[in-house]
Structure 1
């Protein structure tokens, strides 16, 4: 492990109630046990832009541990800090509308079977204007309920998740809707949230 305080083995393999198999492969790294580099990552997540404005999903649990994929960011603080900064840029610095961004994230969550990502971003999607009907359509990959640009964003992201590529016609339509910079933003959103989904899956974060 590079930097940081070594977690207790019992934290790495917590037992499920009743002595069953571990619920999570990685125990929580709580604030009191963090070194300076880990604390910088923790503060950037728990006290940065994600903590400003409406709190639509919890960043920390009752004990102060980071929720979801963020806990693993503390394992390697240099990577974790850069990774959280990328996530903040994806959320707050793109030119895509909030609605388009959340459509892209929710399509990626569905394609990746990432329940935590869906639970976290469903309320953000609602806040961005997505209706229950539209959210249900995203959950079941029925993009025909959306107007032109929203449908194009959803279909583009779905193609990226399924095939990892766009054919010439898909690329032309995507550029026509969001421009080359918007296509780059969609590629970044898909890559970032697919990587988070993999972390959630491997570390068994439900």
Structure 2
């Protein structure tokens, strides 16, 4: 049972409406519809509903998420593997629900998804992808990365991508924590 009310669009105050439209009408809504941002009554699904309950923080958080998803140097494959590694670590059903279809669309194989879902790291033939994924796996496992792993990831992906990866891990860990604390499940789960 979710711990937060799920307001319909007509129940929102002015600040919440601005945030709602940034989420529901922003870049997340313009891509392929692989999962629904809203339910049949227009209420936001997943972590986005929580953002409405603190619009100033929620606006900053959703803007960070938008930047991570749509304005980084990360390839779609690396981004989705990183998100799903965080989801596996936090056992976040909503993040898996939302990002496995996006990962498939980005070219992740079922074997790669299965490896990540089980808490492992997929075998990757691309050295830059492998270095990025190894870095993400270390960050979620230990909250850090050793010098050799860090240097290897930077040498193959660049400093900018490594900064983006660390930010991505923190952002999706924040969402996973909120989803857990606020008892948010996948759409269709009783709430």
Scaled to the shorter chain, the TM-score interval is over 0.9
How far is 1:144 from its partner?
4.8
Alignment size in residue pairs: 184
- What is the 5 A alignment of 1:148-163? 148-163=127-142
**Correspondence for 2:25 among 29, 47, 52:** 47
CA distance in 1, matches of 2:117, 2:47: 21
**TM-score of the aligned structures, taking structure 2 as reference length:** 0.93
In structure 1, stretches of 5+ residues that fail to align are 1-22
On the 8 A contact 1:106/1:121 being kept in 2, the answer is yes
1:141 CA drift (Å): 3.4
Quote the Cα distance in structure 2 between the aligned partners of 1:48 and 1:112: 27
Note the C-alpha offset of 1:53. 2.4
- Superimposed CA distance per residue, residues 3-35 of structure 1 (whole angstroms, 9 cap, x where no aligned partner): xxxxxxxxxxxxxxxxxxxx1111202111111
1:68 matches 2:46: yes
Contact 1:59 1:66 in 2 (8 A): yes
Which structure ranks higher in relative contact order (CA pairs < 8 Å, sequence separation ≥ 6)? 2
CA distance in 1, matches of 2:11, 2:52: 11
TM-score (normalizing by structure 1): 0.87
Secondary structure of the corresponding residue to residue 158 of structure 2: helix
1:105 counterpart = 2:83: yes
Are 1:140 and 2:121 counterparts?
no
Q: Quick check: which has more Rg, 1 or 2?
A: 1
In angstroms, what is the RMSD of aligned CA positions? Answer: 1.0
Matched, 1:31 2:9: yes
Q: Does the CA contact (< 8 Å) of 2:111 and 2:122 recur in 1?
A: no
Is the CA contact 2:8–2:43 (under 8 Å) kept in the aligned structure 1?
A: yes
* CA deviation vs aligned residue, 1:14-63 (integer Å, no higher than 9, x gap): xxxxxxxxx11112021111111100000000011100021111100111
Q: Aligned partners of 1:184 and 1:82: how far apart in 2?
A: 18
Find the counterpart in structure 2 of residue 17 from structure 1: none
**1:138 & 1:127 partners in 2: Cα distance?**
16
Aligned partner of 1:58 among 36, 44, 60: 36
Question: Is the Cα–Cα contact under 8 Å of residues 159 and 166 in structure 1 kept in the other structure?
Answer: yes
| Cα contact 1:38–1:77 (8 A) shared by 2 | yes
What residue number does 2:172 align with?
193
In the TM superposition, what whole-angstrom CA distance separates every residue of 1:66-110 from its partner, at most 9, and x where no partner exists?
000100101111111111111000000000111111111111111
Contact 2:34–2:101 under 8 Å retained in 1: yes
